[in-house]
Chains A and B, each alone.
Chain A
């Protein structure tokens, strides 16, 4: 049984639910209370991906208004990226195209998941509307609160990393 360690960084503006997604994924917990992340929290979870034990080391980064402001050393050595926005706050995806372009140009070979979070706060009709108005395609629509699509998102990223 082989084990590999891979670093994954989770990015996006503050308050979109990055820490909550990790907490849900790693500890199966959710809290309504918002605690701003400062600096870096590192969590680890071992995933069984088709027999391979993937030690996913997730870097929960302090949310900032732009990917460009993230300290480059934080992203060094990462194998996968997650970009999260908040479906209930249009401000968090207003500039999503530039953000994603920037990430793709800096890390052209890294798998990247674009995630719309807080699905539980959005009506299905409005969700369709939001997605239809975006010029970028979203990989996952999640809820850190209900856990919907959280595992799927991390596991899919894990699979892509191992490919």
Chain B
């Protein structure tokens, strides 16, 4: 077999010719691929839509011209395959040549398929990644917007509460000033009402501000070194007057084992204690309020303290005990009626305690009182010193080495009571005069080591009384040390005091410690 025979044999089995007239009627064929009896029609244009549409292309051809179409899928009769086609236009007819390349094309199809699939896959991945990064961008933008809004809200609340607090402080300040002037008992009553409402409003505003911070997760706990004894002194100062007014017994029961120098947030700790104390005072009309603190556990650098505030007030129903720490939950029920305010105070307290790694609990029996107990974990400060060695909270001030005789000149009964109690605590003997005139009378009859002199008083004020003592009285009594007690640090007040001959000056409400030190220095 020679090469041309081989070639012919190969081609013969793979190719077929059709000779048709111009209308496509088959006139001659070798029927190698498609057997004559298998053909469904004698017109080639009706064998397959492919031929039908190629008729449309043929009009553009001249006699002797041909065109080629590779890779055409054809199913004619039972036979199906992939063919290359050429169509030659004759003067009076057409020649169709079909080459069967099914095997070859099936092989390339699989390669193409593989390539296309991997590229499509790649493109889809890219599109997905793009979508994801776009989504992330949008999310970032939304978050940014949210943060902006939250920031705006916080700022707004902060501004608002500042704006409200400023005039409110003025109202409270002036109400206090008014209280120190000559008033009828009705007027005193009204002013007290103004004062109380104002203070309640202040608490509410602070609560709302704090709560918005809690909600935004922005309530922070500081880590600073502080002296726990100062927190207690402060509370004692604030609440002893209240206790006197309500004729309640106020006790501080502090474990001397607690280190005094601690690390934490004294302001927030004070806030918690103040909140609990306020509640205790609000619901207790008779009996005792006890603030106690004890050390539960001490590790290398941390100490767990347990504080409790217990009262002998109206107590809280067990059904209400569940809800009492929820924010707003009590807005419409009994608790709100009892507790008033925003109903946020205890929710904030709970949050703060949580932030200090502690827990808060309530024990109460209706009618007998309530005890709130909470723990906090605090750092131990550098200056290790147990509380017991510093200020004794039970009687926060050192007893004087020698008992002094003090004349207190003060017109407002509540202030008289408070000062008396404090001076009593120092171990001093106290006489009380309610204005300058009666002070002079006391001074004539008795001798004193010291005078505490209020400035604004009816009849004869503190300045006049002092001038009289320094200038009109003879002998050692004219040199008696006088400390001025002033309600508000007015400009020039201090100079005025010194000018008329007073020795020193403390502003009310005074820090007992400071007063004690000033007395020690003078006497």
Contacts and interface: CB of A to CB of B under 8 A. Distances in A.
Contacts of B82: 38-39
A38 B52 contact: no
Interface residues of A, number: 32
A7 B49 CA distance: 9
Interface residues of B, number: 34
A73 B68 contact: yes
- Binding site secondary structure of chain A: mixed
B73 A42 contact: yes
A91 B124 CA distance: 9
Interface stretch (B112-120, B263-271, B422-430): B112-120
B67 interface: yes
Nearest to A79: B56
B490 interface: no
Interface string A75-116: 011110000000011111000000000000000000000000
Given A55-B52, A57-B52, A90 B130 contact: yes
Contacts of B71: 38-40, 62
B390 interface: no
Contact of A44 (B52, B73, B127): B52
Interface centre among B53, B59, B70, B113 (most CB of A within 10 A): B53
Contacts of A156: none
A39 B49 contact: no
A91 B126 contact: yes
Contacts of B108: 38
B247 to A, nearest CB: 70
Contacts of B60: 76-77
A35 B71 CA distance: 16
A43 B50 CA distance: 8
A68 B4 CA distance: 39
Contact of A38 (B49, B59, B109, B120): B109
A90 B48 CA distance: 37
Interface string A27-38: 000000011101
A77 B73 contact: no
Given A5-B53, A63-B116, A74-B69, A42 B127 contact: no
Interface of A: 5-7, 14-15, 34-36, 38-44, 55, 57, 59, 62-63, 71, 73-74, 76-79, 88-92
In the A-B complex, the 8 residue pairs with the closest CB atoms? A39-B71, A77-B57, A77-B56, A44-B49, A36-B113, A76-B57, A57-B53, A7-B53
Interface of B: 48-50, 52-60, 67-73, 82, 105, 108-109, 112-113, 116-117, 119-120, 123-124, 126-127, 130
